[in-house]
Amino acid sequence: MSVQSSVKRVTTHVLSEMKLKGEKISMLTAYDYSMAKLVDEAGIDVILVGDSASNVMAGNITTLPITLDQMIYHAQSVVKAVQRSLVVVDMPFGSYQGNSKEALHSAIRIMKEAHADAVKIEGGSEIIESVQRILSAGIPIMGHLGLMPQSINKFGTYVVRAKEKEEADKLIEDAKLLEEAGCFAVVLEKIPAELATRVAANLRIPVIGIGAGSGVDGQVLVIHDMLGMTQQFSPRFLRRYLNLAVEIKEAVGKYIADVKSVDFPNEKEQY
Ligand code: KIV
């Protein structure tokens, strides 16, 4: 029996057992009650309340505008729906970069007000003091390296990261630093598959990839992308499992036609 199928509730310990056994970890984002319920019931291991909510829920161009209060609102809705998956909540831009005290305060708010299982935070050596302080309060952290969308204004582009040796070396050091500090997992976004495989092989903690190839310990995608709701976003790493944008528009089109023609509601659909 797999580790995943034998557990009532996925914990950080379960994820580390999965890595030990070579069982891949599945992770998807969710931002609201209804979607989180479906994803949890389908058997996902980890639900990420990602700050990608800023893009797909709020319509912002970047993840920067979403606030801590808004992340907590999304997380509260997700946590209410989830019975089995581990719920990880992104610490939004501006909630941890100032200093480690502020970072701890933000992480405590997420845990206390949303009842999350863990937080996710972007960065390596630059934020290690905050990582240590949050961990010392007993709050589990998932790291995030490679393409870090909260730093898009510094990068200036969403192209593949760490292709050059200097950046790859820093990423390897940062991943080790996060593991040594006590993070339970790390996300690697949009980096060469060969580098991601090397990092996963050299860490004891699970490495979850997005655009990082198959040699890591698990995969994460944004649910709106994998369900085909976001039509403009088409990176090479994205596999679409549905074309919901088309299906939703067809359904709405039929509804409009039925309302206009007074086909809806019929006699059985009224009191
Ligand atoms: O916010 C998010 O959805 C993420 C994933 C892309 C890993 O951080």
pLDDT tier for residue 125 given thresholds of 50, 70 and 90: very high
DSSP state string for 195-210: HHHHHHHH-SS-EEEE
Q: Which pLDDT belongs to residue 232?
A: 87
Tell which residue, 206, 208, 207, 214, has the closest CA to residue 237.
214
Closest residue to atom 1 of ligand 1, CA basis = 50
Domains of the chain listed by start with CATH number? 3-240 (3.20.20.60), 243-271 (no CATH)
Q: Which residues are catalytic?
A: 189
Phi, psi torsion values for 146, nearest 5 degrees: 90, -130
Residue with tokens 């390296």: 145
The one-letter amino acid code at 248 reads I
Q: Which pLDDT belongs to residue 231?
A: 87
Mean pLDDT of the chain: 97
Given CA atoms 104, 63, 205, 37 in this order, what sign does their dihedral have? positive
Q: Which pLDDT belongs to residue 71?
A: 98
Q: What is the DSSP letter of 269?
A: G
pLDDT digits (tens, 9 = 90+) for 144-157: 999 999 999 999 99
Residue with tokens 């067809």: 250
CA 47, CA 84: separation in Å to the nearest integer? Answer: 10
Say how far residue 95 (Cα) sits from the centre of its chain. Answer: 17
Spacing, Cα 27 to ligand 1 middle (Å): 10
Pocket test for ligand 1, best of 47, 71, 187 (most atoms within 8 A of CB): 187
pLDDT digits (tens, 9 = 90+) for 155-213: 999 999 999 999 999 999 999 999 999 999 999 999 999 999 999 999 999 999 999 99
Spacing, Cα 202 to ligand 1 middle (Å): 23
Say how far residue 242 (Cα) sits from the centre of its chain. Answer: 19
DSSP state string for 173-197: HHHHHHHHHT-SEEEEES--HHHHH
Q: How far is CA 192 from CA 102, 116, 164, 211, in A?
A: 34, 31, 10, 8
Tell which residue, 221, 33, 182, 212, has the closest CA to residue 201.
212
The reported pTM is 0.97
Closest residue to atom 4 of ligand 1, CA basis = 50
Spacing, Cα 82 to ligand 1 middle (Å): 19
Nearest atom in ligand 1 to the alpha carbon of residue 187 is 7
List of long-range contacts for 5-12, beta carbons under 8 Å, 24+ apart: 7/84, 8/84, 9/83, 9/84, 10/45, 10/46, 10/84, 10/85, 10/86, 11/86, 11/117, 12/86, 12/117, 12/118, 12/140, 12/184, 12/185
pLDDT tier for residue 2 given thresholds of 50, 70 and 90: confident
CA atoms within 13 A on the CB side of 206: 29
Q: What is the DSSP letter of 262?
A: T
